[in-house]
Amino acid sequence: MSNTVKRKAILTGAHFMNGDFACAEGAIVAGCRFFAGYPITPATEIAERLAERMPEVGGIYIQMEDEIASIAAVIGASYAGLKAMTATSGPGFSLMQENIGLAVMTETPCVIVDVMRGGPSTGQPTLPGQQDVMQAKWGSHGDYEIIALSPSSVQEMFDLTVEAFNMSEIYRVPTILLADEVVGHMWEKVVIPSPENLKIVNRKRPNVSPEKYLPFMPDDNLVPPMACFGEGFAFHATGLTHDEHGYPQTQNSEVQERLVRRLCDKIRKSVDKIVKVEEVMLEDADVVVIAYGIVARAALSAVRKARAEGIKAGLLRPITLWPFPEKHVEKVARRAKKIVVAEMNCGQIVREVQRAAKETPVMFLPKLGEDPHTPMEIFEGIRRNNP
Amino acid sequence: MVEGEKQKLEFSEEVRIGVYVCHCGLNIAGSVNCEEVAKFASTLPHVVLAKDYRYTCSDQGQAMIKSDIKEHKLNRVVVASCSPRLHEPTFRKVCEEAGLNKYLFEMANIREQCSWVHLYDREAATEKAKDLVKMAVAKAALLQPLEEIEVPILRKALVIGGGVAGIQAALDLADTGYEVYLVEREPSIGGMMARIDKTFPTMDCSICILAPKMSDVGHHPNIELLTNSEVIDVKGYIGNFHVKILKKPRYVTKDCSACGECAKVCPVTAPNEFDAGLAIRHAIYTPFAQAVPATYIIDTRLCLNKEGIIVCDKCIRACERQAINFDMTPETVEIDVGTIIVATGADVFDPSTLPNYGYGKYPNVITSLEFERLINAGGPSGGHLIRPSDKQIPKRVAFVQCVGSRSNRNERQYCSNVCCMNTIKDSLLIKEHWPETEIYVFYVDIRAYGKGFEDLYRRAREEGVKFIRGLPAEIIEDKKTRNLWLIGENTLQKELYKINVDMVILSVGLEPRKDSEIIQRLLTISRTQYGFFLEAHPKLRPVDAATGGIFFAGCAEAPKDIKDSVTQASAAAARAGILMAKGKIAVEAITPITFPEKCKACGLCTKVCPYNALTLRKELKRVEVIEAACGGCGTCAAECPFEALTQKHFTDEQILAQIDAVTEHEAHKKIVAFCCNWCAYAGADFAGVSRMQYPPDVRIIRTMCSGRVSPKFIERAFARGAAAVLVAGCHPGDCHYINANYQTQKRVERFWKRMEQLGLNKERLQLLWASAAEGERIASKIREMHEMIRKISLDEIERTKKAFGGG
Amino acid sequence: MMTEIEHPLSKYLRKAMMPHIWCSGCGNGIILNCVVQAVDELQMDLDKLVVVSGIGCIGRAAGYINTNSFHTTHGRPIALATGVKLANPNLEVVVISGDGDLFAIGGNHFIHAARRNIGIKVICANNFNYGMTGGQQGPTTPLEALTTTTPYGNIEHPFNLVHLAAASGATYVARWTTLHVRRLTQSIKRLLQKEGFGFIEVVSPCPEIFGRRNKMKTGLEMMEWFRRSSVVENFSDPSKAEITPERIVVGEFVNIDKISYERLLHEKIAHINEEKTWR
Amino acid sequence: MPERIWRKPLDSEKAKLPKAEIHIIRDQCKGCGYCIQYCPQKVLEESNDINARGVHPPRVVDESKCVLCSFCTSVCPDFAIFVIEKKECKENVKHG
């Protein structure tokens, strides 16, 4: 009997799987055909799933000698024309930082999945954390903008992986899926839509002849159309500061100004197009809970409980962590009396919230180790801060 | 004799010696009273019968000896006749056929070393002959039957030199079925013959008849061709030579298809040696169209690429088959062969050493070899005989003969054999193409001795070639026309001539290869006074070297034409074939015998042995002899201070007995000479053959090598009152036993010191190096010593006797 | 001076980037020269060629060749090239970088790429030190050599790169000096035609930074050192090919056939994608 | 073959090589001197003039000696020298 029936690229339909698998399926749906990685808990299952799935869809899976090599290979693959991804956790994410910077500088579309665990250092490999939020934004040296998404369900592991690819293809920027151990390992129902109901974006290609092509000359959206190696546009890419030709300009401050500003602006000027949040019962909320990732799920039931007890509570869940949904926080801050921020660290996104909330007092519920916040813990936070 | 007697008791049976004194027609009887010598012999101890006979080596003579052996129960035979180097094998065979061990035969050389060198002093010659016979008898009494060991002969041959002689020899051997290594120094085989246009007397195209043979060599399954290679080391002995060959890199692999594209693009050129420098070649080249192997070669002295740095890669790019490899390195090929044929050829004389002919100065004076290339259709002028100065075809041409031959000016008294006929051939070639050309040939004698030669000579004369007897004294160039004036005497008409021609062709002679001495040293063979290799016997072993297993072919042995070279090559191949067909050979039983009870295991003998044939067994307090490896020089026996070993057939006792025999009467008038078999003794024979005359004082004792001469022999000679002692051997470096004669030198020098310390005139012991060709050297040494001993007083003789414990 | 005619190889160079940044007598220019010469002789399709380089003087080479090129972070060119080659096996991917980039910070990537036998071709300019940062000690600095960070003489044993490459499984390993331009060019041609991971070490003069501290003030003096000491020994044992002042063994050390990683991978992908039916 | 060789070969002119045309891109030269040192025919020497980079570029001593091996072209780190075959027609071109 023939048991190895080849699976399709898009497994349309309802599935029961864990977050890492969903992420892998999302990647394949998004058109990712290159994965380079290195085993690390709790992201390993993504690699395992793709090791099995990539060949089925004619894609490449390779396990590199380390995370540095993995992200480097991803950049190379992307320049050779494939949508590419790697997946890791804190320690590996740290190793990748330099080349994430290279990806930013060379405007390489690629996706880095960081399934966060407890740090610092080796920390608690099997327990969740949200401690890499700031590293995701500032981890590599130099000035840049980046996109980071935060899934809080297995379904979102799928959806946001697809979204991450779309974003990175549109803006030619490395996009980070900041998941956490719980979301990664949790098993849930996932619905994979049919192709026609999927939005897949591919990088913009040059529409000029090779002679006219300037690899780093931006369009009006500040993003340069991207040619790939082997397509006849012999061009140069470098981590050095470079002009529109891609040629190094290591002594020219004007070029540096122009390049770095554009790298930031192409994201900043598109914030409204990029940023996604979930808003629950915010219209009349006095107490607004802000939480993301797995914590947001406890927060939601806490808000519901509070409403049942007559407290006007609401939830703002940033799905896009970077760029930070500043406008949304400002908006709720204007009418809310108190803001409660719950995250699994000693205070990272809360700083961004405080910055945006201006005078509105922000109360912080940190959580470290073992499990995420319980709904009761967050409900307590709401209750205590109810004016 | 006393010594001898004691020895004799050691053999059971009674010694019965038969002596035969040969007249050799008048060769001996002409100056020696043979009857008297025979009568004298009959008085000697152990001699039971002594006869004189006209031709002892004749069948009747041999039959006589055989029947005597049976009839008179002879158990030793002495023949006094010619040199043992000539007839010892003959008479040994006789003894064997009569059931007598051949080592019980001894010879007295009363022809080469007596009758022929004392032609005009019958009395002295007869006395000397008696002495020589007495010595032989004394030795014979002590002879012992000996068994020879057999050594295998490898059925592989090495041919050195790929000229027509080497090619013929190699093909003959290979066709017989033997494996042949043909080593050629040049990039291609073919040698001189490949460079010649036509051959005399038949006038066929030289390369046309040679090329097929060359390619046969190239394709023959039994021939391994090693071109661009040189023999660098030869060890071993007949049947078992171990040869090292340096194979120099061609930098072009076998993949070469000889398309020549590489040479077309090669930016550097030089005169092509093959065309005597008249045509150019490139750094990558093939010497000539028919070269075998056809593979090109890179001349690294010319090529721009040095020290592994490729500067110019034009040839590499041009070579479709990628056959060029600058990383080739020299390799040393080691082979084992049973026989070696030396066909190294000859060089041509360089006439620029004769300023009066202006070669090298006047462009229109060329050599006969340059002529060959000019007249050759494949040559630089496409077969047009043109003057180098203006490339015009000459109307008047002169040939000058004997340039570098038959001349005392440059030690080349010999005739080069080929020049006369070559010139006649060349003159006819000119007539054939340009009948109008005036041709003069200036000669000493025209030698047209060979088959068809005279007819060719006649044809030349009929065609109008003018032969003028008398070489030009000088050649003068007319600066304007570049024409040449030949000035000399017509010795037939006894009148001076001054003839103007457009071009002069110097008929240059052949001379030994400049580096013959290398081959000589490697193979330990001898050369004649002119430097060509010396055959073992001029009549009966004309292609054998004195060293077993080595043979000669072609001009290496003496100048000769193609026909003779080929003949000799086939002969050499046949001689080598005989050995290899047998597959084994008996080594003369002249290896050492040891007396372990006397041996102190000091190891001195092992140190002097040139063949490492002795191994010291310290634990057993003795040395062991590897007979097959032993060359038979006997220097070990001379070295041993304890008489713990001696050489078979040349035992201490036997040699001492010879000395005693010499010194029994009138020792003070005699010179005791020890001569090595290969050079000095052969030289003495040569003196005889050449009838060189010298005083009859000398008595030569033959040893295989001068290294055999132990100090105690010299002592004994002086102790018994000899006037002088001569030790003679091969020149240092030419020793037939690699280097045993260096021991001779050491020993003689030590002995001189002793004589000085004893206050004796060391002049009385003389050391002489003389080759087999240097008869005159030996003769004059003897003359010189003759003068010397006349001045020696009797009491000095007495003092010497005492000093060395003599009576 | 005739300049109306162009240099025959200039079409392979990015004119805007010329002249290159390298010092007088630096061997990098010669290596670049040989690479483009080889590309020219092979008539390679520049659109299918990708040159990846790392950080260091020679790292600039990628930018100078008029083809697809990527100038990566320090030590990572091989890793990035791996991604390019796997993503599009039809591309000819060449890594040109220095000894420090490839064997110190990038050493791990080198040995693993060789082990995998991924079809990328690595050309290493070995100039015995870190030139661009001013001449510090590196993984190939000879014992006792003086550098800015070994002012009393180097006490670290240098890598024998060809031995390392051979031991790691490279299918082609060669070493030349910048004086062996012809052999180097031919060697690069063979390298480019090879399947799997190939490596050429080019011993290269660095007079301004390394030479002048080590009694070789000019490029010529360093080249003369190469001329004196180099011996061509093809297919000799790479473990015996340490570079010493007296002896630089050059030549081809390894040239074997071994199926490449990308071929195995794509064969596997093809294999598992054909429907299997069992009897 | 040991005969003394002294004549100019009769067919010397047969070996006529293509004439070389050496091009030196003056201001691209950095003066390493490799081309001068390693020219097998010693065709080049250091010139006295100073180029844009302040070094002495090579100059041609005797172009007729050049055999077009083009080693200078290959060993030049700065692509500042190259040799081409001279078109016999345009003899008028001037070079340094």
- Map out the domains of chain A as residue ranges: 13-197, 277-384
The pLDDT value recorded for residue C273 is 83
Smallest CA–CA distance from C27 into chain D, residue: D77
Phi-psi region of B277 (alpha: psi -120 to 50; beta: other; left: phi over 0): left
The pLDDT value recorded for residue C279 is 32
Are B663 and B655 spatial neighbours (Cβ–Cβ below 8 Å)? no
A120 CB neighbour count, 10 Å cutoff? 10
What's at B516, amino acid-wise? S
Q: Is the pLDDT of residue B331 over 80?
A: yes
Provide mean pLDDT across the span B606-632. 87
The distance of B260 to chain D (nearest Cα, Å) reads 14
The string of pLDDT tens digits covering residues C25-38 is: 999 999 999 999 99
Q: Does C231 touch chain B (CB under 8 A)?
A: yes
Alpha helix positions (H), B44-151: 59-71, 84-97, 122-141
Q: Is the pLDDT of residue B628 over 50?
A: yes
Q: Name the pLDDT band for D90 (thresholds 50, 70, 90).
A: very low
The pLDDT value recorded for residue D89 is 54
The distance of C233 to chain B (nearest Cα, Å) reads 8
Single pTM value for the model: 0.82
CATH of span A277-384: 3.40.50.920
**Please, which residues 47-76 of chain D have a Cβ atom closer than 8 Å to chain C?**
53, 55, 71, 73-76
The rounded radius of gyration (Å) of the Cα atoms in chain B is 31
Domain assignment present for C85: yes
Phi, then psi, of A43 in degrees rounded to 5: -100, -5
With CB atoms and an 8 Å threshold, state whether D30 touches C34.
Answer: no
| Residues with Cβ within 8 Å of residue A278, at least 6 apart in sequence | A296, A315, A316, A317, A319
Provide mean pLDDT across the span A95-106. 98
Is the bond leading into A206 cis (omega within 30 degrees of zero)?
no
Residues of chain D with pLDDT > 70, as a percent, come to: 89
Domain assignment present for C219: yes
The pLDDT value recorded for residue A11 is 94
The string of pLDDT tens digits covering residues A11-32 is: 999 999 999 999 999 999 999 9
**Please, which residues 38-67 of chain C have a Cβ atom closer than 8 Å to chain A?**
46-48, 50, 52, 60, 62-63, 66-67
With CB atoms and an 8 Å threshold, state whether D9 touches B386.
Answer: no
Q: Name the pLDDT band for B193 (thresholds 50, 70, 90).
A: very high
Question: Distance from first CA to last CA of chain B, Å, rounded?
Answer: 14
Domains, chain B, ordered by start? 1-148 (3.40.50), 156-346+525-582 (3.50.50.60), 348-511 (3.50.50.60)
Exposure on the CB side of residue B565, measured as CA atoms within 13 A: 26
The pLDDT value recorded for residue B237 is 81
Are D40 and D66 spatial neighbours (Cβ–Cβ below 8 Å)? no
Interface test with C, best of A238, A244, A250 (most C CBs within 10 A): A238
H or E, element range at A157: helix A154-171
Q: Is the pLDDT of residue B389 over 60?
A: yes
Instruction: Give the residue extent of every domain in chain D.
Output: 17-85
Provide mean pLDDT across the span B648-656. 96
Smallest CA–CA distance from B389 into chain D, residue: D10
Q: Is the pLDDT of residue B807 over 80?
A: no
Angstrom CA distances, B298 to B313, B319, B449, stand at 12, 13, 44
The pLDDT value recorded for residue B411 is 76
Strand order in the sheet with B105-109: B47-53, B17-22, B76-81, B105-109
With CB atoms and an 8 Å threshold, state whether B313 touches C232.
Answer: no
The pLDDT value recorded for residue B448 is 95
Closest Cβ–Cβ partner in B308, B310, B313 for C231: B308
With CB atoms and an 8 Å threshold, state whether B307 touches C234.
Answer: no
Task: Tell me what the pLDDT averaged over chain B comes to.
Answer: 93
Task: Report the C-alpha gap between C87 and C80 in whole angstroms.
Answer: 11
Q: Is the pLDDT of residue B301 over 60?
A: yes
A113 CB neighbour count, 10 Å cutoff? 32
With CB atoms and an 8 Å threshold, state whether D28 touches C18.
Answer: yes
Task: Report the C-alpha gap between B369 and B389 in whole angstroms.
Answer: 18
How many residue pairs from chains A and C have C-beta atoms closer than 8 A? 150
Pairing of strands B269-271, B280-282: antiparallel
Question: Distance from first CA to last CA of chain A, Å, rounded?
Answer: 68
The string of pLDDT tens digits covering residues A180-199 is: 999 999 999 999 999 999 99
The distance of C24 to chain D (nearest Cα, Å) reads 5
With CB atoms and an 8 Å threshold, state whether D7 touches B282.
Answer: no
Q: In the 8-state DSSP scheme, what is residue B356?
A: G
The pLDDT value recorded for residue D1 is 52
What are the tokens at B546? 């004195």
Interchain touch B–A (≥3 Cβ pairs closer than 8 Å): no
What's at B110, amino acid-wise? I
Residues of chain A with pLDDT > 90, as a percent, come to: 96
Q: Is the pLDDT of residue B22 over 60?
A: yes
Q: Which residues of A267-306 are buried (b: 16+ CB within 10 A; e: fewer)?
A: beebeeebbebeebbbeebbbbbbbbbbbbbbbbebbbbb
The domain made up of A13-197 is a member of CATH 3.40.50.970: yes
Q: Name the pLDDT band for B540 (thresholds 50, 70, 90).
A: confident
Phi-psi region of B452 (alpha: psi -120 to 50; beta: other; left: phi over 0): left
Smallest CA–CA distance from B344 into chain D, residue: D1
The pLDDT value recorded for residue D2 is 59
CATH, residue C104:
3.40.50.970
Q: Name the pLDDT band for B9 (thresholds 50, 70, 90).
A: very low
Task: Report the C-alpha gap between A77 and A93 in whole angstroms.
Answer: 19
Q: In the 8-state DSSP scheme, what is residue B112?
A: I
Q: Is the pLDDT of residue B721 over 70?
A: yes
Are A18 and A190 spatial neighbours (Cβ–Cβ below 8 Å)? no
Q: Is the pLDDT of residue A110 over 90?
A: yes
The string of pLDDT tens digits covering residues B121-164 is: 999 999 999 999 999 999 999 999 999 988 899 999 999 999 99
Q: Does C58 touch chain D (CB under 8 A)?
A: no
Question: What is the total count of domains within chain C?
Answer: 1
Are B800 and B751 spatial neighbours (Cβ–Cβ below 8 Å)? no
With CB atoms and an 8 Å threshold, state whether C25 touches D30.
Answer: yes
The distance of D4 to chain B (nearest Cα, Å) reads 7
Domain assignment present for C1: no
What are the tokens at C214? 């080590």
Are B314 and B265 spatial neighbours (Cβ–Cβ below 8 Å)? yes
Of A258-267, B184-193, B592-601, minimum mean pLDDT range: B592-601
Question: Distance from first CA to last CA of chain C, Å, rounded?
Answer: 79
State which residues form the domain around C66.
Answer: 11-269
The pLDDT value recorded for residue D5 is 86
Domain assignment present for C192: yes
Q: Does C11 touch chain B (CB under 8 A)?
A: no
With CB atoms and an 8 Å threshold, state whether C265 touches A78.
Answer: no
Residues of D in contact with B360 (CB under 8 A): 4, 6
With CB atoms and an 8 Å threshold, state whether D75 touches C37.
Answer: no
Smallest CA–CA distance from C233 into chain B, residue: B327
Q: Does B313 touch chain C (CB under 8 A)?
A: yes
Residues of chain B with pLDDT > 70, as a percent, come to: 98
The pLDDT value recorded for residue B612 is 81
Say which residue the tokens 């004086």 belong to. Answer: C179
Say which residue the tokens 């922000």 belong to. Answer: A362
| Residues with Cβ within 8 Å of residue B424, at least 6 apart in sequence | B200, B441, B446, B448, B453, B456, B457, B460, B465
ipTM: 0.84
The distance of A314 to chain C (nearest Cα, Å) reads 46
Provide mean pLDDT across the span B437-449. 96
Smallest CA–CA distance from C12 into chain D, residue: D79
CATH of span D17-85: 3.30.70.20
Closest Cβ–Cβ partner in D23, D32, D74 for C2: D23
Interchain touch D–C (≥3 Cβ pairs closer than 8 Å): yes
With CB atoms and an 8 Å threshold, state whether C234 touches B327.
Answer: yes
Smallest CA–CA distance from A79 into chain C, residue: C84
A277-384 shares the fold of A13-197:
yes
Interface test with D, best of B195, B272, B274, B280 (most D CBs within 10 A): B280
The strand pairing partners of B412, in sequence order, are: B407
Angstrom CA distances, C212 to B368, C133, C145, C157, C225, stand at 62, 15, 11, 21, 13
H or E, element range at B485: strand B484-490
Provide mean pLDDT across the span A299-319. 97
Angstrom CA distances, D23 to B5, B138, D72, D79, stand at 100, 94, 11, 11
Higher pLDDT, A85 or B630: A85
Largest interatomic CA distance in chain B? 93
Q: Is the pLDDT of residue B336 over 80?
A: yes
Domain assignment present for C264: yes
The pLDDT value recorded for residue B656 is 96
Helices B122-141, B2-9: inter-axial angle, 10-degree rounding: 30
Q: Is the pLDDT of residue B5 over 70?
A: no
pLDDT < 50: residue spans in chain C: 1-3, 276-279
Closest CA to C113 of A67, A73, A58, A238: A73
